[in-house]
Structure 1
Amino acid sequence: MEALRELRVGFIGAGRMAGAVARGILQAGEVQPVNIFASAPSNTNLDKFKSFGCRTTHCNLDVLKNCTLVFLSTKPHILPLVLQEVAPAVTPKHIVVSMAAGITLKTLEELLPAGTKVLRIMPNLPCVVQSGAIMLARGTCAGEPEAALLKRLLSNCGLCEEGPESYIDSHTGLSGSGVAYAYLFSEALAEGAVKMGMPAAMANKIAAQTLLGAARMILETGEHPAVLRSAVCTPGGTTIRALHELEKGALRATVMNAVEAATSWAREMGKR
């Protein structure tokens, strides 16, 4: 495996998530900006990469010619056409990583030359602030060295977990879409405090910090959320009364249904 200082990383597609992943890779300090290439049809998104000190182009083939590790970060409906364009330039040295929702490893491998080392990742929006959650799955020709390299590169983007490809749809329902569930809950928390007299700006800030602190306690203590929740509930106290109201509204069942609905739709997209 190449030394990371010499590794050349490419992005075909330069949208928000591609920029977030590139920023995380650069902040890890092992890949040089001059060794990151990005392609897109216009300069609208490429300007962000230029601000990082990366090289940019309007030609997708330039990325393949200059890079070993290539992220496919176009919109899903565009990706098959992009793959038809770049497939002749893909060689055994390339590692191809798709970030496109709904495009399976089987489809990627069918559209690329036989034996291509292909992986899929599904990042979520907080990768923009290096606090993301990423699921990684390997294709049939990608081994431990390729997965280890990718995990190392993505380490500064947030949590990166590996699993079978079937987990990617569940990850979409849990974490990709789950960011929106958290925003909705944070909004509701803040509005409850506003209802009780707290200024909105202060309530929003405290609600966000509350969610951040709760998440860090789960990750850093390793405790099950139910254990931590029980620790907050003193007998006859305020929290148990509040939780009773949430249970009346079937909060847990509703959230589980939301994850199921998003996962099911992600699976449906993969069949199209």
Structure 2
Amino acid sequence: MTTRRTAGRTAIIGAGVMGETLLSGLLRAGRAPEQLVVVEKRAERADELAARYGVEVVPDVAAAAAADTVLLVVKPQDMAGVLAEVGPALEPGRLVVSLAAGITTSFIEQHVAAGVAVVRVMPNTPALVDEGMAALSPGTHCDAEHLAEAEALLASVGRVVHVPEAQQDAVTAISGSGPAYVFFVVEAMVEAGVHLGLPRTVAHELAVQTLVGSAAMLRETGEHPAVLREQVTSPGGTTAAALRELEVHGVRAAFLAALEAARDRSRQLGS
């Protein structure tokens, strides 16, 4: 029987935007700097992170294996190479949390020792402002303690849900890629506002605050979006006229096709 180490140290492999977001979030959530280690091979970037956060930054991926929990915040195409370095040094009972789109828990388990716990996570970029949405799926050797630790890590930068791994590609399509769809819509609204004669700064503020307020209504009221939409839509009014045009141009169908494309690409990345 294997036992987990009790030091509680977490290693973050990958110091890009999401890796740094998790690092700063964990520190704000109360993790001590000495509990964290970051793997970054670029000397200039390593010095920057060490100075900014007061954490240990190392260039050797294998060195991260000494931590109890290893966060893999790397691109899907880099995962095999990273696992080749860190995998052999991981002992049973350690926890590996992967944030790479499309990479399955079974793929990671094939590159580490039997008994290493794996959790697959799909986060999103609003984690940058502590409003992230992360979906977690446990692997074969993941117990309740492992899953609770993974949830605590991601909860430092937003909200967390648990889903079966078979649903992760759909999660990627909705929330992983979702912020880009929202930004795309806001961009279109701003451009339309300018076209209609508004100053760009005013159009931007109107669109952004409308988005923020609408999201707050969805969260705080718990109402179905269709109910809230109907509350804004007076018969024969301006909103009804606008929504008719969106339906005529197939916006709803376009969103479905877009999310299916994102789901399919997530599957391709995993293969």
Instruction: Give the TM-score taking structure 2 as reference length.
Output: 0.93
Task: Show structure 2 runs of 5+ residues with no match.
Answer: none
Q: Following superposition of structure 1 onto structure 2, how do residues 73-222 of structure 1 map, counting pairs within 5 Å? A: 73-222=73-222
Task: Give SS of 2:167's match.
Answer: helix
Aligned partner letter, 2:247: E
- Counterpart in 2 of 1:41? 41
Q: Distance in 2 between matches of 1:263 and 1:44?
A: 36
Are residue 26 (structure 1) and residue 27 (structure 2) matched? yes
8 A contact 1:135–1:163 mirrored in 2: yes
Moved more, 107-116 or 140-149: 140-149
Q: Give the distance between the partners of 2:116 and 2:108, measured in 1 at CA.
A: 9
1:107 to partner: Cα distance: 0.7
Question: What one-letter code is carried by the residue in structure 2 that aligns with 1:266?
Answer: S
For 2:133 and 2:11, the matched residues in 1 are separated by 21
User: RMSD across aligned C-alpha pairs, in angstroms?
Assistant: 1.7
Is 1:15–1:45's contact at 8 Å kept on the other side of the alignment?
no
Identity %: 39
| Distance 1:70-1:239 versus aligned 2 partners, 3 A rule | same
Question: Gaps spanning 5+ residues in structure 1: where?
Answer: none
Whether the aligned pair in 1 keeps the contact of 2:98 and 2:120 (CA below 8 Å) is: yes
CA distance, structure 2, for counterparts of residue 180 and residue 211 of structure 1: 14
Superposition deviation, residue 71 in structure 1: 0.2
For 1:17, the equivalent position in structure 2 comes to 18
What's the CA shift string for 1:143-177, capped at 9, x where partnerless?
A: 22211222122213112111011221111111222
Conservation of the 8 A alpha-carbon contact between 2:76 and 2:269: no
**1:105-151 residue CA offsets vs partner (Å, 9 max, x unmatched):** 11100110011111111111111121111111100110222112221
Amino acid paired to 2:130: Q
Note the C-alpha offset of 1:44: 4.5
Determine the C-alpha separation between the residues in 2 that align with 1:134 and 1:22: 16
CA distance in 2: counterparts of 1:206 and 1:78, whole angstroms: 41
Counterpart for residue 253 of structure 1:
253
Deviates most, 173-182 or 114-123: 173-182
Partners in 2 of 1:144 and 1:216 — Cα distance? 32
Q: Matched residue of 2:102: which SS?
A: coil
Q: Which stretch shows the higher mean deviation, 262-271 or 72-81?
A: 72-81
Cα distance in structure 2, aligned partners of 1:46 and 1:208: 35
Deviation digits for residues 167-226 of structure 1 (CA, Å, limit 9, x no counterpart): 211111112222111111001111111112211122112211211221121122111111
CA contact (8 A) 1:13 1:40 kept: yes
**Partner amino acid for 2:178?**
G
1:43 Cα deviation from its structure 2 partner:
2.8
Contact 1:35–1:55 (CA<8 Å) still a contact in 2?
A: no
Shift of 1:72: 0.9
Q: Is the 8 A contact 2:93 2:115 kept in 1?
A: no
Q: Secondary structure at the match of 1:46?
A: helix
> Is 2:92–2:114's contact at 8 Å kept on the other side of the alignment?
no
What's 1:55 paired with?
A: 56
Moved over 4 A (4+): none
User: What is the one-letter code of the residue matched to 1:59?
Assistant: D
Whole-angstrom distance in 1 between the partners of 2:33 and 2:201: 38
Q: Does 1:241 align with 2:241?
A: yes
Secondary structure of 2:156's counterpart equals helix
Q: Which amino acid aligns with 1:267?
A: R
List aligned pairs for 1:223-234, cutoff 5 A: 223-234=223-234
SS of the equivalent of 2:77 reads: coil
TM-score between the two structures when normalised by the length of structure 1: 0.92
Q: 1:210 to 1:135 in 2, by over 3 A?
A: same
Distance 1:45 1:76, change over 3 A: farther
